[in-house]
Amino acid sequence: MIPMEISLSILNTSDKPIYRQLYEQLAFQIVTGKLTGGTPLPPIRALASSLGISVISIKRAWEELERDGFIVTMIGRGCFVSELNETERCKRRLELALSELKASFASLKRLEITEDELIALITDNYEF
| Interval 4-24: pLDDT, tens | 678 899 998 888 999 999 999
| Interval 47-65: pLDDT, tens | 999 999 999 999 999 999 9
Three-state SS letters, the chain: CCCCCCCCCCCCCCCCCHHHHHHHHHHHHHHCCCCCCCCECCCHHHHHHHHCCCHHHHHHHHHHHHHCCCEEEECCCEEEECCCCHHHHHHHHHHHHHHHHHHHHHHHHHCCCCHHHHHHHHHHHCCC
| Interval 99-122: pLDDT, tens | 888 888 888 889 999 999 999 998
Architecture of domain 18-81: Orthogonal Bundle (1.10)
